[in-house]
Amino acid sequence: MKVFFIVPPELHFIEAYNTKKVDKGREFRQKLGILAVAGYLRDVGGITPRIIDSLADMLSLEDIRKILKKEQPDIVGFSVLTFNILDCLEVVRIISEVSPATKVCFGGFHPTIYPLETLSLPGVDFIVMGEGEITFTELVLTLKDSPHAKNKEPGNLKELGGETNKNKTIPILDLTDSSTEKKKGFAAIDGLGWKDQKGRPILNAPRKPVAKLDTFPMPAHDLIDLEKYSLVLAEDAKVASIQTSRGCPSKCTFCDIRLTRYRYRSAEHVMEEIKFLTGLGIREFFFLDDTFTINKKRVYELCNLLIESKLDIKYKISSRVDRVNQEMLDMLAASGCYRIHYGVETGSQRLLDYLEKGVTLEQTINAFKMTKKAGIETFAYMMIGIPTETKDDIEQTIQFVNKLQPDRVNYSICSPFPKTKLYETALNNDPTMEDYWGEFAKNPEPNFKIRTLNEYFTQEELRNIQDKALKRFYFSPRQLAREIYHTRSFKQLLLKAKFGMRFLSPRFK
């Protein structure tokens, strides 16, 4: 069984919270979602997949075409976000041309929130909704054992109101009815979307999230060349990403995982992955948890294990400002944490409350003071263009950043993501507003433009404010001196220089 995962080349850019020049100058991160599914498929399913990362490997569509034509994989999996679906579909078109027998499976956030729309796209044979490790592995094993996938279709056809594609109602099979006979083949796989022999989309019952993340094997870091990945603002030239938890209990209205069940790996389980990666030459880590510090007991346990291990490593994390204290920060610093990314968002308490952040400006100030006292760098994530935000509010935010004096900052434009409370509230409150995300999901087109929901500024005005704020921070004498002082390698110097040149060039180039 020949299984491929493909990360497509970046050919289409949906400009959202960052400008094009900032996003394209970013970095190459390991795709942890793909690595996690690949690790499970190999360790549990007994099949070792091939990972083709077009970004890290500098591959063009023509390169992908040659590989697919030669290899003829049985199935190709994609990790699909709304922002990269156009690029994924470019590769799907190539698959249909040079390897038509190859099955295509879309997993990730986009098919999870837009399952019927995604499954109805040309060339997409399967989708995985929710966490993909078990579902995708069961799909591959089903294809392996029964190549023609002859399934008895339980249930009765029904129409879901409102679920349409090109103005036509999409019929699906109801597989959640307990009265149906025992399911077989694809129908038995929870979390899977597939098509019957007539091409009708079928959505199976959702898969329940795995409660104990320690039961998952380690992501398959060894299936990629770690030398090809980098983070532009990292201290070391060779960096690996680790995810130690899933879900977030916070209520931020702009976030797509708000109020989702929080689950975490044990400190011992995380240490196994860290030791494995240090064996591959990694000395710096970025913990990708949305809030690393939710479970304080586990933070202390992991810090103690890191200190006891005497490993020569450093790492950075993300946290809420109300989830740290001085004791924890000192422990984090002692165990190798050198930077904390804080979602500050705004310098207006009114807007913090509007976004349901659940924190105060005073808590933010205290968190930054404590973090600096511990000797840890701070990275402040700010937002402009929040609905109802005025010119005075934006100036207040910029002044608040000056007061915090973070080591680094990012100003993003508030771009409501699909299915978030911020977006759904706007739809419900404005009967004239089009569900533009839903329309894009049904018919992805390259000329798609994201809209802001701020009534006082145009998109271009917000881009100009963002551009000026970032330049004012990063090209200040203090920050330039700091960046030069903290450059540790020639590779890092080149990344920073490239990043800086994008700021100096005309916008959006």
In a domain, 286, yes or no: yes
Domain co-membership, 277 together with 403: yes
pLDDT tens digit sequence for 171-201: 333 344 443 446 789 999 999 999 999 999 9
CA 225/CA 115 separation, integer angstroms: 32
Domain co-membership, 248 together with 387: yes
In a domain, 405, yes or no: yes
Phi, psi of 223 (to 5 degrees): -90, 0
In a domain, 433, yes or no: no
In a domain, 441, yes or no: no
Domain co-membership, 375 together with 279: yes
Per-residue pLDDT of the chain (509 residues; tens, 9 = 90+): 999 999 999 998 776 555 554 444 456 789 999 999 999 999 999 999 999 999 999 999 999 999 999 999 999 999 999 999 999 999 999 999 999 999 999 999 999 999 999 999 999 999 999 999 999 999 999 999 865 433 333 332 222 223 333 333 333 333 444 434 467 899 999 999 999 999 999 999 999 999 999 999 999 999 999 988 877 666 666 889 999 999 999 999 999 888 788 999 999 999 999 999 999 999 999 999 999 999 999 999 999 999 999 999 999 999 999 999 999 999 999 999 999 999 999 999 999 999 999 999 999 999 999 999 999 999 999 999 999 999 999 999 999 999 999 999 999 999 999 999 999 999 999 988 999 999 999 999 998 888 889 999 999 999 999 999 999 998 888 888 777 766 666 656 666 666 666 655 554 33
Q: Which CATH number goes with the domain that contains 287? A: 3.80.30.20
Domain co-membership, 357 together with 306: yes
Domain co-membership, 167 together with 279: no
State residue 468's pLDDT score.
Answer: 94
State residue 116's pLDDT score.
Answer: 98
Count of domains for the chain: 2
Domain co-membership, 181 together with 242: no
Please list, residue by residue across 417-433, b when 16 or more beta carbons sit within 10 angstroms of its beta carbon and e when fewer do: bbebbbbeebeeeeeee
- Domain range for 306 is 230-415+452-504
In a domain, 437, yes or no: no
In a domain, 312, yes or no: yes
Domain co-membership, 190 together with 261: no
Domain co-membership, 309 together with 196: no
State residue 10's pLDDT score.
Answer: 93
State residue 237's pLDDT score.
Answer: 62
In a domain, 447, yes or no: no
The one-character DSSP state at 202 is E
In a domain, 153, yes or no: yes
Domain co-membership, 243 together with 183: no
Structural contact between residues 164 and 442, judged by C-beta atoms closer than 8 angstroms: yes
**Encoding tokens for residue 203?**
């959505």
Domain co-membership, 309 together with 353: yes
Q: Which CATH number goes with the domain that contains 101? A: 3.40.50
Domain co-membership, 196 together with 244: no
Nearest one of 3, 8, 4 to 89, comparing CA atoms = 8
Domain co-membership, 245 together with 176: no
